[in-house]
Structure 1
């Protein structure tokens, strides 16, 4: 799939910037919408070449639906992880078994990989330390027994199933 036309890339950038403007201002006041739209037009004129190569094809209904579904899924994962970390911190014996694990991803685009790394890091109890190709090195607050094996493939399989795969089912549709 080749690059989209300049117009398609420009329009996509305008749409994304304008949506971000609306979310940041949390206002539907006509003056703010007008200013935000004009600002989006101007900023997009300078940034569209680096913003996207796919243009309006990024707004495919399936991608948009998965992106919308990902938001509550990610928020739920954050809540569960916060409760887990709070339990571990407040427990008298502090049941932690920290370690660095290696995970693999099926994502191929840089944007998808970046989104996965950010999703892992924003979920309490895990921090993405490094990304090398399709491998992620993640500090994990509770490394399960199954991942504490000398068999590297088994270790990667267990860590990936717990850390990367839950997010990937959405991100591979959104970012390819």
Structure 2
């Protein structure tokens, strides 16, 4: 889309089909995809995940923009630990990337079942409460998509 300067449906569909095909073709070469199963339920829930992710991204963009445009607003930056019940490396990767792509948060490290997140305005330092505020909205859908 960026290369041609156009936005045509046939180009979008071709790109999606080719991307999916290359992923399926080369998935066996990567340990990241081992144990991952694509089910009808995961196909149905993927668009739901995208909507949740986009909504969280929009909310976070407005929050960060408000903080930038209003320097008097207090911020409380810090690193919090969140726990995940996701087991596969791919699920943890998608969760970590989703958190990082949401403005105001950055996944710094993943160790076992813990993610260490830099948060622009820490609202909870307790692991359980931080997990609910930072990652639970993504994780509850991801655990159904990536088995």
**TM-score, normalising length: structure 1:** 0.68
**Residues 159-174 of structure 1 correspond to what in structure 2 (within 5 A)?**
159-174=130-145
Match of residue 112 from structure 1? 91
Q: Which portions of structure 1, spanning 4 or more consecutive aligned residues, are displaced by more than 6 angstroms? A: none
Partner secondary structure for residue 128 of structure 1: strand
2:63 pairs with one of 73, 76, 84: 84
CA RMSD of aligned residues (A): 2.4
Rounded Cα–Cα distance in structure 1 between residues aligned with 2:27 and 2:129: 40
Structure 2 alignment gaps of length 5 or more? 1-6
Deviation for aligned residue 1:95: 1.7
- Aligned pairs, how many? 133
1:126 pairs with one of 88, 91, 105: 105
1:157 pairs with one of 119, 128, 142: 128
Partner secondary structure for residue 28 of structure 1: helix
1:139 is the counterpart of 2:118: yes
**TM-score, normalising length: structure 2:** 0.80
Q: Which has the higher contact order (CA 8 A, sep 6+)?
A: 2
Whose helix fraction is larger, Structure 1's or Structure 2's? 1
Match of residue 10 from structure 2? 28
Structure 1 alignment gaps of length 5 or more? 1-24, 148-154
Deviation for aligned residue 1:54: 5.0
